[in-house]
Structure 1
Amino acid sequence: MRESKGLLLEDAAAVLDCHIAKISRIELGHSGVRSAELKELLRTYGVTEDEWPGFLALAKTDRKRRWSRDLEDKLPTDFLDLIGLEADVSTLRIFHPSMVVGLFQTEDYATSVIQGGRVGPLDDERRTKVRVRLERQRVLTREVPLEVRAVLGEGALRQMVGGADVMRTQLLHLVEVAQMPTVTIQVLPFSAGAYPGGPLPFLIYGFPPPSGLEVVTLEYLTGHLYLENPDETDHFARVFEELRAVALSPLESQALMNDYTDRLTSS
C-alpha cells in the first residue's frame, strides 16, 4: 500500500513520528502496531474506513502474542518502540559509565533504581516499570538469544544502589550473566582516565542480515532519542570499539566484579 502511493519508509515514519526501523519491522511482520497508529497509516495510504475492521482485527490478534500487550496503554510509545527493538534485533552493544543496565539488573536493584532513592512501597506506575524491565530480559534466554556486548564503567560496580545486600546480589548476578555464551561484559576501570565519547551512555541495536540496519538509542529523563543516520551510527560504533580497547578484558572484568563482591561480603 505504501509503495503503491509512491511513499518511502521515511514518509510513513513521519506520519507516526517514529523512526524508519519501526515501519520496516511492521511491514516485515516482525513487530505489532497500535490500533491508533494503524488507522493513521491506513488513512495515509487511502484505505477507506469501511475496510479498516479487517486490518484492526489482525493487529489485535498480533498483540495477543506479545507479553507487552496488556501494558501498551500504560507505557509511552517511544518505550514500546524500545521493547520492539530489543525483540527484533540480533545484536546489542551497550555503554553505561555509572549503572548496571536494565537487561542485567536484579529485581531489587531495578526497584531501587526506579524508586530513585525513595523509600516505601512501589506505586502502580513504578511497579509496572519494574515488571517491564524484568520482562525485557527474556531476550537473553530466547530461542535465538540476543548477542550482547557491554562496557560498564567501574562506577557501576561501586555505586551503592539499594545498599550492600542488594549490590552484592547484583554483582553476583552480573558475573553469572557475563558467563552466558552470548553475553560479553567489560569494565572500564577508573584507571583508564579520560576515555572516548565522554560520560554519555548509549546503545547500538543491530538488525540481522540482510538489512544490516543499526539504530542508536540515547536515553534522557523523559524518553529516548533514536539515531539511524549511517554517519551517526558509524560514529557510535567506532566509539564503542575504542571503549572496548581501553576497558579490561572480559576475564579481568569478572575478576574485578568478584573482588567487589568479596569486599561487600566481608564488610
Structure 2
Amino acid sequence: MPVLENPTVRRRVLGANLRRLRDEQGRLLEDAAQELGCHPAKVSRIESGRSGIRQLDLRVLLDFYGVKDVRTREGWLALARESRRQRWWRELEDQLPQDFLDLIGLEDEVAGCRGFQPSIIPGLFQTEAYATAVIQGGSAGPPSEAQLTKVRVRLERQKAMTGRRPEPLHVWMVLGEAALRQQIGGRGVLREQLLHLVEMAQLPNVTLQVLPFSAGACKGGMLPFLLYSFPAPTELEVVLLESFTSHAYLEGPGDTAHYNGVFDHVRATALSALDSEALMVSLADELARS
C-alpha cells in the first residue's frame, strides 16, 4: 500500500489560495478540472495541499481565474516552485516528527510572525543553554543525541530572523512576565536568556513586548498562539496552536480574524517595547545579584 505524503504547509497555502481564487470567480471544481483536462479529484488534491501543481497547470488556472498582472503571476509561480524545493532540514526527516518539520517549513516560508507566549521563551528566541534545558524537560544528566539534534534545529530556525534573503522574518512577540521569571536551566541560564532577548529586540525586524502580571486577564485567555502571514501574492494567514504532542494549523478566515483580534488586544495591553526591554534588563540584573 503506498504511503500518503503528509502535505507541507506551503502546499496547503498554495492550494487554499487557488481555492479562494476559484471561489472569487464563481467557478466550480468541475470547471477547473475541465480547463486542465483532468478529473476533479486532481484539482481537489491540489486545493487541499495533498498534491503539488505543475507550472504549466498553474499558468492555465491563473488564465482561467483572470490573473493577468505579470508580477502577481510570477509570485504565484514562485510559490509553486518553492513548494517543491528541498530544504536544509530534509536530511533530518527520520529524526524529527512531521509536525515539527511542518513548523520549520512554515517559518522558512512566511514573511511575518506575530504571537503570544505566556509562560516560556519561544523557540525562535531561545539560547542554546535555555533550549537544551527546555528540551531535556528537567531530566538529569547530559542531553541525548536526539535532544542535541532538536537543539541544533531550534538554533538553525533562528536564522530566519537574521540571515534569510531577500528579507528576514519579521517577528512581533508578546511574552508573559512568567516567561521572564521561570528559572529554566537555573539563574545563570535565565540571565543569559534575558540578555539575549534584549539583544534580539534591537533588530529592526523584531518587536518584543511583555504582558506584566499587573495586566490581569486578557482577551482569549492566557493561551499561546502564533499567527503567520505569507508574502504576496497570497492573502492567507495561518494560526499555529502548539501542544505537547502536536501542532494544529487553522487557516479559516474566522480563525485568523479571531486571533488577530486577540493579538491586537494583548499587544495593546502589554508594556511598550522600551518598557519591556527595561524590565528584561532589570530582571537580568536581579539574577546577577542573587
Q: For 1:198, what is the secondary structure of its paired residue?
A: coil
Residue 84 (structure 2) pairs with residue 69 (structure 1): no
TM-score by length of 1: 0.81
Amino acid at match of 1:211: T
TM-score by length of 2: 0.74
Amino acid at match of 1:134: L
Return the offset for 1:31: 3.1
Separation in structure 2 between the aligned mates of residue 250 and residue 10 of structure 1, nearest angstrom: 45
Match of 1:241 in 2: 264
Q: After superposition, give the CA deviation of every residue in 1:7-45 in whole Å (9 maximum; x if it has no partner).
A: 47753465849xxxxxx999612234xxxxxxxxxxxxx
Q: For 1:151, what is the secondary structure of its paired residue?
A: strand
Separation in structure 1 between the aligned mates of residue 186 and residue 109 of structure 2, nearest angstrom: 35
Partner residue of 1:230 out of 226, 240, 253: 253
Superposition misfits of 4+ residues, deviation over 4 angstroms: 7-10, 13-17, 24-27
Separation in structure 2 between the aligned mates of residue 176 and residue 131 of structure 1, nearest angstrom: 20
Separation in structure 2 between the aligned mates of residue 230 and residue 187 of structure 1, nearest angstrom: 28
Amino acid at match of 1:162: G
CA 1:107–1:9 in structure 2 vs 1: closer, same or farther (change >3 Å)? farther
Larger Rg over CA atoms = 2
Match of 2:288 in 1: 265
Match of 1:20 in 2: none
Q: After superposition, give the CA deviation of every residue in 1:56-107 in whole Å (9 maximum; x if it has no partner).
A: xxxxxx43xx221210121122211111110110000021001110000000
Amino acid at match of 1:175: V
Superposed, 1:1-267 pairs within 5 Å as 4-7=38-41, 11-12=45-46, 16=50, 28-32=80-84, 62-63=85-86, 66-141=87-162, 142-143=164-165, 144-267=167-290
Q: Name the % identity.
A: 55
* Structure 1: runs of 5+ lacking an equivalent: 18-23, 33-61
- Maintained 8 Å contact 1:31/1:88: no
CA 1:85–1:10 in structure 2 vs 1: closer, same or farther (change >3 Å)? farther
Query: What RMSD over aligned residues (CA atoms) do the two structures have, in Å?
Result: 2.2
Return the offset for 1:124: 1.9
Return the offset for 1:153: 0.1
- Maintained 8 Å contact 1:150/1:185: yes
Amino acid at match of 1:29: R
Match of 1:57 in 2: none
Aligned length: 230
CA 1:136–1:10 in structure 2 vs 1: closer, same or farther (change >3 Å)? farther
CA 1:131–1:7 in structure 2 vs 1: closer, same or farther (change >3 Å)? same
Separation in structure 2 between the aligned mates of residue 75 and residue 118 of structure 1, nearest angstrom: 20
Return the offset for 1:166: 0.2
* Structure 2: runs of 5+ lacking an equivalent: 1-31, 52-75
CA 1:203–1:158 in structure 2 vs 1: closer, same or farther (change >3 Å)? same
Separation in structure 2 between the aligned mates of residue 203 and residue 234 of structure 1, nearest angstrom: 13
Match of 1:56 in 2: none
Q: For 1:30, what is the secondary structure of its paired residue?
A: helix
Separation in structure 2 between the aligned mates of residue 8 and residue 264 of structure 1, nearest angstrom: 59
